[in-house]
């Protein structure tokens, strides 16, 4: 039954897309929402009407009159939410092609599959993502194709090249003796010393980076023996964040390590990615400075169960065993201490489209379902600098709207099965119309 509706909706949206092109006036849509999650106030509202004009929300409230000529989408037996977002994906990553696929395959190879992953992500209800590292500007090209309407996918913020020291997690695909040198060094994110780092930040931003990502500590999947070692000096991190911030671009720091986390927070990053071995002092610093924690607390299960079957080096699994469980325990401490939590999953390390799986882990490790939903909506919107565009169903924002069957506050796992997806006023998945 649902399949039929999906096909119908796809046809309807194709048709309405064509119709909108001929029609200068922006199309009006009215959504009847049985329940609506108000992410700004952390409440569930009943029987709301959302009026959409073109790509934006025009009005939302109980019992609003349905404008004449508006298409009506009846979600009165569903729970409606703002589109979800993921602060940490690698849309070009494909675990079935090897754990370092996004740096060892060519950009052309990655481009042939990345658009499929973008579509899967969107269809899972994720209407905005932050891509924290790709090579050869694959994600930038994809973002542009999505914005132009040629490819179905989420809104994207892209980091372009992941920046880091020689021998850091950024040192892949271009300069690592272990993965082979297929790109000239200037076409990688490797930079050592404050001046070279500043130059690399400028280059990345010059070429379209919306966010700067760097490797503050060693990682799990990268060619390093120990996870969590600081890979830049304080002076280097300060230079990187100073340069990027001055150019108006926020910084995300990959950091598992206790000291590296504090160094990055001190330098002024907007988010700590992973945060696995954070200590009480690090938690206090993040809370005090308002640094977001974007902890990918689902992916460990995938790595430990699936990667071993695929013959991934034992050292990688060993590093994962060091951080996986600790990361969850420390995440809980950070939540309890009131650190700001973003929703970031490292999709691409596990298959795209399963992003919603992390909600249940966040609830298991200390968050209320509402807070977990807020992490993936209003909090991420704030981290992305997009609070006026996304994150809630509010007049003036993009009509990025999803729905699930049932009550996700009672059963957070419903967010693993999103039934309706609208992005920018266009329906991509599942709508019963009349």
275 contacts 283 by C-beta, under 8 angstroms:
no
In whole angstroms, how close is the CB of 302 to ligand ARG at the nearest point? 9
In whole angstroms, how close is the CB of 115 to ligand ARG at the nearest point? 22
Helix axes 280-289, 314-337, angle to 10 degrees: 60
Name the burial class of residue 193, with classes exposed (0-12), middle (13-18) and buried (19+) by CB atoms within 10 angstroms of its CB.
middle
324 binds ligand ARG (CB under 6 A): yes
Q: Choose one: 7-15, 105-113, 199-207, 299-307; the region binding ligand ARG (CB under 6 A).
A: 299-307
In whole angstroms, how close is the CB of 19 to ligand ARG at the nearest point? 44
Token pair 């499929």 in the structure block, residue: 116
In whole angstroms, how close is the CB of 155 to ligand ARG at the nearest point? 22
Give the span between the Cα atoms of 421 and 159, in whole angstroms: 26
349 binds ligand ARG (CB under 6 A): yes
C-beta of 274 vs 352, nearer to ligand ARG: 274
In whole angstroms, how close is the CB of 213 to ligand ARG at the nearest point? 11
223 binds ligand ARG (CB under 6 A): no
C-beta of 285 vs 303, nearer to ligand ARG: 303
- Where would I find the beta strands (DSSP E) of 120-196? 126-131, 155-158
Applying CB under 6 A, which of residues 92, 127, 139, 327 lies at the interface with ligand ARG? 327
Q: Which two tokens stand for residue 281?
A: 């002092």
357 binds ligand ARG (CB under 6 A): no
C-beta of 80 vs 323, nearer to ligand ARG: 323
Applying CB under 6 A, which of residues 222, 244, 330, 380 lies at the interface with ligand ARG? 222
144-175 exposure pattern, b = at least 16 Cβ within 10 A, e = fewer: ebbeeeebbbbbbbbbbbbbbbebbbbbbbbb
Listed residue (72, 69, 26) closest to 50, CA to CA: 72
Applying CB under 6 A, which of residues 159, 220, 367, 402 lies at the interface with ligand ARG? 220
Query: What residue is closest to ligand ARG based on CB?
Result: 219
Applying CB under 6 A, which of residues 219, 228, 257, 353 lies at the interface with ligand ARG? 219
57 binds ligand ARG (CB under 6 A): no
# of chain residues touching ligand ARG (CB under 6 A): 16
Residues in 156-185 that interact with ligand ARG by CB under 6 A = none
Q: Which two tokens stand for residue 403?
A: 């729905």
Applying CB under 6 A, which of residues 236, 296, 400, 416 lies at the interface with ligand ARG? 296
Listed residue (190, 119, 189) closest to 156, CA to CA: 119
Q: Could you give the string, one character per residue 178-217, with x where binding to ligand ARG holds by CB under 6 A and - elsewhere?
A: ----------------------------------------
Give the span between the Cα atoms of 172 and 143, in whole angstroms: 23
Q: What is the CA radius of gyration of the chain?
A: 21
DSSP letter, residue 164:
B
C-beta of 51 vs 170, nearer to ligand ARG: 170
111 contacts 138 by C-beta, under 8 angstroms:
yes
In whole angstroms, how close is the CB of 391 to ligand ARG at the nearest point? 24
C-beta of 49 vs 303, nearer to ligand ARG: 303
104 binds ligand ARG (CB under 6 A): no
DSSP string, 79-121: EEEEPEEEEEE-TT--GGG-TTHHHHS-HHHHHHHHHHHHHHH
274 binds ligand ARG (CB under 6 A): yes
Q: Choose one: 140-148, 321-329, 413-421, 426-434; the region binding ligand ARG (CB under 6 A).
A: 321-329
In whole angstroms, how close is the CB of 346 to ligand ARG at the nearest point? 5
Q: Choose one: 121-129, 156-164, 203-211, 316-324; the region binding ligand ARG (CB under 6 A).
A: 316-324
Give the span between the Cα atoms of 418 and 84, in whole angstroms: 10
Q: Which two tokens stand for residue 208?
A: 């379209």
Give the span between the Cα atoms of 386 and 382, in whole angstroms: 6
C-beta of 22 vs 305, nearer to ligand ARG: 305
C-beta of 320 vs 416, nearer to ligand ARG: 320
48 contacts 60 by C-beta, under 8 angstroms:
yes
C-beta of 4 vs 309, nearer to ligand ARG: 309
| CB neighbour list of residue 256: distance below 8 Å, 6 or more residues apart | 217, 218, 219, 220, 227, 228, 274, 275, 276, 277, 323, 327
Residues that bind ligand ARG (CB under 6 A): 219-222, 274, 276, 296, 299-300, 303, 320, 323-324, 327, 346, 349
């Amino acid at each position: 039954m649902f399949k039929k509706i999906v096909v119908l909706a796809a046809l309807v949206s194709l048709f309405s897309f064509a119709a909108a092109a001929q029609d200068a006036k922006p199309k009006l849509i009215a959504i009847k929402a049985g329940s609506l999650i108000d992410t700004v106030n952390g409440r569930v509202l009943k029987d709301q009407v959302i009026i959409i004009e073109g790509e934006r929300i025009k009005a939302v409230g109980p019992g609003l009159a349905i404008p004449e000529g508006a298409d009506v989408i009846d979600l009165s037996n569903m729970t409606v939410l703002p589109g979800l977002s993921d602060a940490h994906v690698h849309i070009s990553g494909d675990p079935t092609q090897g754990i370092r696929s996004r740096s060892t395959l060519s950009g052309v190879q990655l481009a042939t599959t990345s658009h499929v992953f973008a579509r899967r992500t969107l269809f899972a209800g994720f209407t905005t993502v932050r891509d924290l590292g790709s090579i050869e500007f694959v994600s930038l090209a994809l973002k542009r194709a999505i914005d132009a309407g040629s490819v179905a996918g989420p809104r994207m913020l892209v980091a372009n090249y992941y920046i880091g020291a020689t021998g850091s997690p950024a040192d892949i695909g271009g300069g690592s003796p272990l993965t082979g040198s297929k790109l000239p060094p200037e076409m990688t994110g490797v930079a050592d010393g404050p001046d070279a780092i500043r130059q690399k930040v400028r280059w990345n931003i010059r070429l379209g980076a919306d966010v700067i990502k760097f490797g503050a500590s060693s990682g799990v999947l990268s060619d390093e023996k120990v996870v969590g070692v600081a890979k830049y000096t304080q002076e280097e991190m300060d230079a990187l964040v100073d340069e990027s911030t001055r150019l108006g671009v926020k910084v995300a720091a990959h950091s598992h390590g206790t000291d590296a986390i504090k160094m990055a927070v001190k330098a002024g990053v907007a988010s700590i990615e992973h945060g696995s071995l954070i200590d009480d002092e690090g938690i206090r610093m993040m809370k005090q400075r308002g640094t977001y924690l974007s902890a990918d607390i689902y992916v460990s299960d995938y790595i430990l169960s699936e990667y071993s079957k695929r013959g991934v080096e034992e050292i990688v699994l060993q590093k994962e065993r060091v951080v996986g469980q600790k990361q969850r325990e420390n995440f809980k401490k950070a939540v309890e201490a009131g650190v700001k939590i973003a929703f970031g999953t490292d999709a691409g390390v596990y298959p795209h489209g399963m992003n919603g799986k992390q909600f249940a882990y966040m609830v298991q490790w200390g968050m209320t379902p509402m807070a977990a939903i807020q992490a993936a909506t209003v909090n991420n919107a704030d981290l992305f600098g997009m609070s006026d565009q996304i994150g809630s169903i509010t007049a003036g924002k993009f009509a990025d709207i999803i729905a699930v069957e049932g009550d996700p506050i009672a059963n957070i796992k419903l967010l693993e099965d999103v039934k309706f997806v609208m992005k920018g006023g266009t329906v991509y998945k599942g709508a019963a119309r009349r």
